[in-house]
Amino acid sequence: MPIEPISKDLLRQKVSDAIISYIYRNGLKPGDQLPSERQLAEEFAVGRNSVRLGMHHLEKDNFIERIVGKGSFVKREVSAESIQLKLLCVNYKDLLEIKICLEQLAIRRAMEIATKEQIVNLKEIALHLCALADKGVFSIEADRKFHTALLDCGGSPTLSQVVLSLIDSLNYYTSMLGNVSEIWLKTISFHLDIAVALEQHKLSLALAAHEYIYQYDVKVLEGLTTDIAAT
């Protein structure tokens, strides 16, 4: 097997995190100048282009300011809390992507082995979620019950245990954001779509509905990113 290249986005993220850490460790304040791209590239043992991408990312997030002909300067103070929140964002993204992949596997398995009784139960839970949503209520407990039933349809206790652990971790992270129920409410109809698609043995529709739920999960991630920029 050929060696896979390192993702440019991953390297850029690591460089930007390293620069944030550099600012914090050295106690740099707003207005303080950062070392040149060449110096930072030597410090981090990466190419200058990677440093440039990382700097661009930090400029976009309002951490630094780059002035042509003068250099790069700290734009706002970096606190321990902002670093923790940045790490939280990365952790959320990783957990979310793993959860999505594993749950799609469960959907594929469910299409092959789920019993009629399991799908009826899944649909009833989805209808209950819809009834709550009509009242403007999003229930984390009811949502977890739906995903538990969906995983049960996949027939793998180990897969169920892993995904439910991921769901609990994601719910813990989102609890730090305050009330995000407005976003979650927009996913409810797609839960019912998944159940109906399984009932009708339409895999592509079930996966498409699941993808829409993922898109709203990403909006929660964007909320985390916005909080980082405002910290």
Among 187, 147, 170, 185, CA closest to 221: 170
Q: Mutual orientation of helices 80-113 and 157-175 as an angle, nearest 10°? A: 150
CA separation for the pair 133, 59 (Å, rounded): 39
**CB contact at 8 A, 48 and 38:** yes
> Mean pLDDT of all residues in the chain?
83
Q: Which fold has domain 87-230?
A: Four Helix Bundle (Hemerythrin (Met), subunit A) (1.20.120)
Tokens of 93: 């993204």
pLDDT at residue number 191? 96
Strand ranges for the chain from DSSP E: 64-67, 71-74
Q: What is the pLDDT of residues 192-211, one digit of tens each?
A: 999 999 999 999 999 999 99
Bridge partner list, 71: 67
Q: What is the pLDDT of residues 21-48, one digit of tens each?
A: 888 888 889 999 999 999 988 888 888 8
CA separation for the pair 77, 82 (Å, rounded): 9
With a cut of 70, list the residues of the chain below it in pLDDT. 1-10, 79-91, 173, 175-179, 220-231
CATH hierarchy code of domain 8-74: 1.10.10.10
Residues shown for the chain: 231
Task: Classify residue 231 as exposed, middle or buried by CB count within 10 Å of its CB (0-12, 13-18, 19+).
Answer: middle
Q: Domain extents for the chain?
A: 8-74, 87-230
